[in-house]
């Protein structure tokens, strides 16, 4: 039997290859994700190891609350205490922070997410950067750059490099080009090196350090030294580790950061595998049906049911092995592909030597083989039910499946799936758990719809096939052929349905976000202009507000800052505002209090967002225990509440004055500015003045009017949307392999019919057209199911968000486009099967077997 299985696989190479592809793509995505993230992990690990060289003890500021953007530095006075520890031979404090390097036209030299850092540098045992040309900076007017950036930008010693810091652009003389240990650049980032004082000046960290490194005199172990430093710094909000431990902690941090990317990519790989399972299952069902005679013959010759079962499952397992290996190879190609894609999007991921761990191989094989075997179980069981008599008499085939049983099962699955979805949404679980329940529930619902969909094939085909029938016989035959084996068409369409439902789902979300943002901008942006960072998320240099405020014609420039706090123990977003003039540029809806409440807000007072307060059980008049990013404990009295939900700019947390933000949260930089113009000033003139100031001094910032803000936000949402599209395209491609497979198999079955049609005068073109239309109809059935399910899921999932101001809006144009694209994709996948059908040899097709 095993030999037979092998021969049967070998004799159907094309089909085997097509079926395998359904798994290969998903496995490639999964293994590629692992390979990619492992490779990046290792690259960062190497960098951190490099940094630990020569460092016995590393002191870093402990973050009281993670503000997600930039760590809060520590007091520079700690350095003296470290130096005073017995056994410490040398200690040094450093700053390592974001800045921007701009070219002669004031354009940032690195764009699109690649960070630029300034690092304080000085020759010595702690210095990880070695000059390969020139030297490290000695004076505050000097600078060195990493070799990668120098080569990319064509920097040469002696020229001026312009760095945009908190106070505007500073021109510095390039005195050195440096390598980081053995690598040319730091994980693709741009790094400039300056004196400590210059680095602190550029980043607004005068009197502060990001790290303190200490080295011991010979004879003292790193651990001993660490414990002594720890004792000496007791009470300060810092972590004290050995150099080795610090490298490990940093590596772990990036791994956690990468964990998100890994999970996200794995989810898309998982979806593709799920879709692949449909394709496999369907292909095996069709093959088993077509091999009825052969299987019956085996049974007649004495093969047991168990042997038949084993032979089908073995075939699946072998296919799984092959597909997994191909998938792994694909993964090795995918990983650099993703790196290139990110690079094209401007994000340089460090991926020097590809890392293939045993775990990656294991998971790929497990997923690939597991999914093919599981998907083949049902068809294999059906194969065992082929009666031996089928070998003798034509027309005796597989026992007819019970429609009712299937119906009940589908209903049951739908209920279970929906229960999981609803529990994920409203069950009170948070984050990952809720998303997990939601995803699992959705998968079960997909399965239920797929099981039920054979009932829908005929009516749907009648609707979507109607336009084709007008095209004459080819259309009519296409529609009839599509509904001949509703189960087959349904399974093929269901695979496509999954991808399209998810695409629809994210499109609706994106449309909703765009509409919500439009609403907010229209209702709340009261000023003439906003100013923000061109990258959309980084804060503005600290001096931006003052410079813009000084432009003639500007009446007010109010800044909004972002921070994080622990409020009564919970992480809470904290906004810094200018109490006196926030409401000039930004309209607030008050729940309790009014503009005067805010204007009179003192340093120990706060205004809260009403929905947040309701969730937290906070009332006006309460006093909140607030821990700031610098670790300070503050008690703030709630003096008012605004009706701002989480999608609002100032929603989801508490408001404090900007001077408080600077003092206690160490945030000097505004994220947004809202500007109003003086009466009688010509808006165009004022704006031109503002833009000139921004271009000359703060080129990372740009001004936007209301419409531009909307466009910019829509642009950002679309970018994410397109990324989702690209990742979901994988699943859709997998399902298209299913279309190819089903068509190829069906055409094989219809050889005789095709021969007859050709004999009585049907042209090859007409045959091709019939196949293409059939594919289009199948794809359109999948599209209708997918669109409906996608809308349904989006509607359910957005219900809790509607209260928070989310606008549920159907992107009609996108959906029509999706439908048309699906039909076209069907046509494209029919190209090969159609050619095959048209090439049928008439005489052979009509010959009697």
Partner 1 sequence: MTSTSIALCTDLTRRYGEGDAAVDALRGVSVAFPRGEFATIMGPSGSGKSTLMHLMAGLDSPSGGSVVIDGTELSQLDDGRLTQLRRDKIGFIFQAFNLLPVLTAEENIVLPLSIAGRKPDRDWLETLIAAVGLGDRRTHRPSEMSGGQQQRVAVARALVTRPAVVFADEPTGNLDSRASADVLTLLRRAVDEFGQTVIMVTHDAEAAAVSDRIVELADGRIVDDRRVGQVAA
481 binds partner 1 (CB under 8 A): yes
| Residue that is written with structure tokens 């007409």 in the block | 766
**Closer CB to partner 1, 345 or 847, in the complex:** 847
394 binds partner 1 (CB under 8 A): no
Residue 749 Cβ vs partner 1, minimum distance, rounded to whole Å: 11
Nearest to 601 by CA among 670, 660, 657, 661: 657
Binding-site size for partner 1 (CB under 8 A) equals 24
Residue 474 Cβ vs partner 1, minimum distance, rounded to whole Å: 9
Residue 485 Cβ vs partner 1, minimum distance, rounded to whole Å: 11
For helices 431-452 and 243-290, angle between their N-to-C axes, nearest 10 degrees: 10
Nearest to 676 by CA among 523, 524, 559, 557: 557
Residue 492 Cβ vs partner 1, minimum distance, rounded to whole Å: 18
| Residue that is written with structure tokens 């006093």 in the block | 623
Residue 761 Cβ vs partner 1, minimum distance, rounded to whole Å: 2
With CB under 8 A as the contact rule, which of the stretches 96-104, 288-296, 520-528, 763-771 interacts with partner 1? 763-771
133 vs 155: CA distance, rounded Å: 12
143 vs 177: CA distance, rounded Å: 9
User: Of these, 477, 661, 690, 745, which contacts partner 1 (CB under 8 A)?
Assistant: 477
User: One symbol per residue from 108 to 137: x for binding partner 1 (CB under 8 A), - otherwise; what is it?
Assistant: ------------------------------
204 vs 144: CA distance, rounded Å: 20
User: Of these, 372, 762, 778, 798, which contacts partner 1 (CB under 8 A)?
Assistant: 762
Residue 489 Cβ vs partner 1, minimum distance, rounded to whole Å: 13
Residue 776 Cβ vs partner 1, minimum distance, rounded to whole Å: 17
Residue 301 Cβ vs partner 1, minimum distance, rounded to whole Å: 28
Residue 484 Cβ vs partner 1, minimum distance, rounded to whole Å: 6
User: One symbol per residue from 809 to 848: x for binding partner 1 (CB under 8 A), - otherwise; what is it?
Assistant: ---------------------------------xx--x-x
Return the DSSP state at 581: T
Token pair of 671 as six digits = 């994220």
User: One symbol per residue from 180 to 199: x for binding partner 1 (CB under 8 A), - otherwise; what is it?
Assistant: --------------------
User: Of these, 389, 763, 800, 803, which contacts partner 1 (CB under 8 A)?
Assistant: 763
Task: Give the DSSP per-residue string, 176-205.
Answer: EEEEETTBSSBTTBEEEEE-HHHHHHHHT-
* The pairing of beta strand 605-609 with beta strand 633-642: parallel
489 binds partner 1 (CB under 8 A): no
Token pair of 143 as six digits = 């600078």
766 binds partner 1 (CB under 8 A): yes
Q: Residue 103: which region, alpha, beta or left (left: phi > 0; alpha: psi -120 to 50)? A: beta
Phi and psi angles of residue 604, each rounded to the nearest 5 degrees, phi first: -105, 25
Residue 405's alpha-carbon distances to 282, 387, 400, in angstroms, are: 19, 21, 12
**Closer CB to partner 1, 21 or 477, in the complex:** 477
**Closer CB to partner 1, 637 or 764, in the complex:** 764
Residue 763 Cβ vs partner 1, minimum distance, rounded to whole Å: 5
**Closer CB to partner 1, 392 or 473, in the complex:** 473
Residue 788 Cβ vs partner 1, minimum distance, rounded to whole Å: 27
**Closer CB to partner 1, 121 or 457, in the complex:** 457
With CB under 8 A as the contact rule, which of the stretches 22-30, 218-226, 469-477, 776-784 interacts with partner 1? 469-477
31 vs 511: CA distance, rounded Å: 33
**Closer CB to partner 1, 260 or 848, in the complex:** 848
With CB under 8 A as the contact rule, which of the stretches 278-286, 471-479, 532-540, 700-708 interacts with partner 1? 471-479
**Closer CB to partner 1, 551 or 754, in the complex:** 754
571 binds partner 1 (CB under 8 A): no
| Residue that is written with structure tokens 């630029």 in the block | 116
472 binds partner 1 (CB under 8 A): yes
* The pairing of beta strand 116-120 with beta strand 190-194: parallel
2 binds partner 1 (CB under 8 A): no
473 binds partner 1 (CB under 8 A): yes
**Closer CB to partner 1, 599 or 759, in the complex:** 759
Residue 463 Cβ vs partner 1, minimum distance, rounded to whole Å: 18
Residue 477 Cβ vs partner 1, minimum distance, rounded to whole Å: 7
- Mapped onto helix, strand or coil, the DSSP state of residue 152 is helix
372 binds partner 1 (CB under 8 A): no
Q: How far is CA 253 from the centre of its chain?
A: 19
676 vs 696: CA distance, rounded Å: 21
With CB under 8 A as the contact rule, which of the stretches 146-154, 243-251, 472-480, 541-549 interacts with partner 1? 472-480
818 vs 109: CA distance, rounded Å: 38
User: One symbol per residue from 424 to 463: x for binding partner 1 (CB under 8 A), - otherwise; what is it?
Assistant: ----------------------------------------
Nearest to 325 by CA among 10, 19, 12, 28: 28
**Closer CB to partner 1, 287 or 770, in the complex:** 770
Task: Give the DSSP per-residue string, 624-682.
Answer: EEEE-TTS-EEEEEEEEEE---TTSTT-SEEEEEHHHHHHHS-----SEEEEEE-TT--
Task: Give the DSSP per-residue string, 198-249.
Answer: HHHHHHT-TTEESEEEEEEPTTS-HHHHHHHHHHHTTTSSEEEEEHHHHHHH
Nearest to 419 by CA among 442, 435, 446: 442
**Closer CB to partner 1, 291 or 484, in the complex:** 484
Question: What sign results for the dihedral spanned by CA atoms 256, 261, 266, 271?
Answer: positive
User: Of these, 62, 230, 484, 663, which contacts partner 1 (CB under 8 A)?
Assistant: 484
The H or E element spanning position 93 is: strand 88-94
Residue 764 Cβ vs partner 1, minimum distance, rounded to whole Å: 7
User: Of these, 294, 480, 622, 632, which contacts partner 1 (CB under 8 A)?
Assistant: 480
Residue 785 Cβ vs partner 1, minimum distance, rounded to whole Å: 23
Nearest to 187 by CA among 70, 29, 47, 376: 47
Token pair of 650 as six digits = 């100032």
**Closer CB to partner 1, 340 or 466, in the complex:** 466
Residue 469 Cβ vs partner 1, minimum distance, rounded to whole Å: 11
Residue 805 Cβ vs partner 1, minimum distance, rounded to whole Å: 53
Is residue 620 within 8 Å of 639, Cβ to Cβ?
A: yes
Please enumerate, as own/partner, the contacts of 515-520 that have beta carbons within 8 Å and a separation of 24 or more. 515/807, 515/809, 516/647, 516/805, 516/806, 516/807, 517/647, 517/710, 517/713, 517/714, 517/717, 518/710, 519/805, 519/807, 520/647, 520/648, 520/649, 520/805
Q: Is 712 exposed, middle or buried (0-12, 13-18, 19+ CB in 10 A)?
A: middle
User: Of these, 62, 476, 549, 587, which contacts partner 1 (CB under 8 A)?
Assistant: 476
Footprint of partner 1 on 742-761 (CB under 8 A): 752-753, 755-761
User: Of these, 764, 792, 795, 814, which contacts partner 1 (CB under 8 A)?
Assistant: 764
**Closer CB to partner 1, 291 or 752, in the complex:** 752
Residue 751 Cβ vs partner 1, minimum distance, rounded to whole Å: 11
Rule CB under 8 A: which residues touch partner 1?
472-473, 476-477, 480-481, 484, 752-753, 755-764, 766, 842-843, 846, 848
């Amino acid at each position: 039997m095993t030999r037979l299985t092998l021969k049967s696989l070998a004799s159907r190479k094309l089909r085997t290859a097509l079926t395998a592809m359904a798994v290969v793509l998903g496995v490639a995505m999964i293994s590629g994700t692992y390979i990619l993230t492992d490779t990046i992990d290792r690259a960062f690990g190497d960098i951190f190891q490099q940094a630990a060289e020569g460092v016995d003890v590393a002191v870093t500021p402990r973050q009281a609350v993670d503000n997600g953007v930039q760590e809060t530095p520590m007091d520079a006075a700690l350095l003296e205490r470290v130096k005073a520890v017995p056994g410490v031979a040398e200690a040094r404090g450093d700053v390592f922070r974001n800045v921007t390097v701009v070219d002669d036209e004031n354009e940032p030299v690195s764009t699109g997410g690649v960070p630029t850092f300034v690092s304080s540098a000085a020759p010595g045992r702690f210095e990880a950067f070695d000059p390969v040309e020139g030297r490290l900076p000695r004076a505050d007017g000097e600078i060195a750059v990493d070799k990668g950036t120098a080569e990319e930008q064509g920097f040469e010693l002696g020229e001026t490099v312009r760095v945009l810091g908190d106070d505007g652009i500073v021109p510095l003389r390039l005195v050195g080009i440096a390598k980081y240990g053995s690598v040319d650049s730091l994980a693709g980032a741009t790094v400039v090196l300056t004196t400590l004082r210059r680095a602190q000046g550029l980043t607004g960290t005068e009197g502060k350090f990001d790290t303190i490194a200490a080295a011991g005199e010979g004879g003292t172990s790193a651990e001993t030294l660490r414990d002594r430093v720890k004792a000496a710094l007791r009470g300060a909000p810092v972590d004290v580790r050995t150099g080795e431990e610090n490298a490990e902690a940093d590596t772990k941090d990036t791994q956690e950061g990468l964990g998100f990317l890994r999970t996200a990519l794995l989810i898309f790989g998982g979806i593709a595998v799920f879709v692949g399972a449909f394709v496999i299952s369907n292909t095996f069902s069709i093959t088993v049906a077509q091999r009825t005679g052969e299987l019956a013959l085996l049974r007649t010759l004495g093969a047991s049911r168990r042997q038949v079962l084993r032979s089908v499952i073995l075939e699946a397992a072998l296919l799984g092995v092959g597909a997994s290996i191909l998938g792994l190879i694909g993964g090795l190609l995918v990983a650099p592909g993703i790196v290139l894609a990110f690079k094209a999007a401007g994000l340089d991921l460090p991926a020097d030597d590809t890392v293939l761990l045993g775990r990656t191989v294991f998971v790929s094989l497990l997923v690939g083989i597991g999914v093919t075997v599981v998907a083949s179980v049902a068809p294999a069981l059906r194969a065992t039910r082929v009666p031996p008599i089928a070998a003798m008499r034509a027309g005796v085939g597989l026992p007819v499946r019970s429609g009712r049983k299937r119906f009940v099962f589908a209903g049951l699955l739908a209920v279970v799936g929906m229960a999981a979805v609803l529990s994920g949404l409203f069950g009170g679980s948070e984050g990952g758990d809720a998303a997990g329940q939601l995803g699992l529930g959705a998968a079960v619902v997909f399965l239920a719809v797929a099981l039920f969909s054979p009932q829908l094939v005929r009516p749907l085909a009648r609707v979507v096939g109607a336009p084709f029938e007008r095209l004459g016989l080819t259309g009519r035959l296409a529609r009839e052929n599509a509904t001949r084996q509703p189960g087959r068409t349904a399974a093929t369409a269901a695979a496509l349905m999954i991808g399209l439902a998810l695409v629809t789902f994210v499109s609706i979300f994106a449309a909703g976000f765009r509409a919500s943002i439009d609403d907010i901008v229209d209702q709340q942006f009261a000023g003439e202009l906003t100013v923000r960072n061109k990258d959309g998320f980084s804060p503005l240099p600290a001096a931006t507000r003052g410079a813009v405020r000084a432009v003639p014609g500007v009446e007010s420039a109010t800044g909004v800052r972002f921070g994080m706090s622990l409020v009564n123990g919970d992480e809470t977003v904290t906004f810094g505002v200018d109490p006196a003039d926030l409401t000039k540029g930004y309209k607030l809806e008050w729940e309790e209090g009014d503009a005067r409440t805010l204007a009179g807000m003192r340093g120990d007072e706060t205004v809260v967002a009403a929905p947040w307060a309701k969730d937290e059980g906070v009332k006006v008049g309460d006093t909140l225990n607030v821990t700031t990013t610098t670790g300070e404990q503050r008690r703030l009295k709630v003096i008012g509440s605004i009706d701002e939900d989480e999608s609002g700019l100032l929603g989801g947390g508490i408001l404090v004055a900007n001077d408080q933000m600077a003092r206690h949260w160490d945030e000097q930089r505004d994220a947004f500015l809202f500007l109003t113009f003086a009466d009688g000033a010509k808006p165009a003139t004022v704006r031109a003045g503002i833009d000139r100031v921004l271009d000359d001094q703060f080129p990372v910032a740009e001004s936007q009017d209301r419409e531009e803000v909307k466009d910019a936000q829509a642009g950002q949402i679309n970018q994410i949307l397109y990324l989702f599209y690209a990742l979901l395209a994988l699943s859709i491609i997998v399902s298209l392999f299913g279309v190819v497979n089903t068509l190829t198999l069906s055409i094989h079955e219809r050889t005789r019919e095709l021969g007859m049609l050709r004999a009585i005068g049907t042209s090859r073109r007409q045959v091709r057209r019939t196949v293409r239309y059939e594919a289009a109809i199948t794809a359109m059935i999948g599209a209708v199911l997918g669109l409906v399910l996608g809308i349904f899921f989006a509607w359910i999932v957005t219900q809790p968000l509607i209260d928070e101001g989310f606008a549920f809006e159907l992107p009609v144009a996108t959906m029509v486009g999706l439908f048309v694209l699906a039909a076209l994709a069907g046509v494209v996948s029919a190209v090969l099967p159609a050619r095959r059908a048209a090439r049928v040899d008439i005489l052979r097709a009509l010959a009697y077997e």
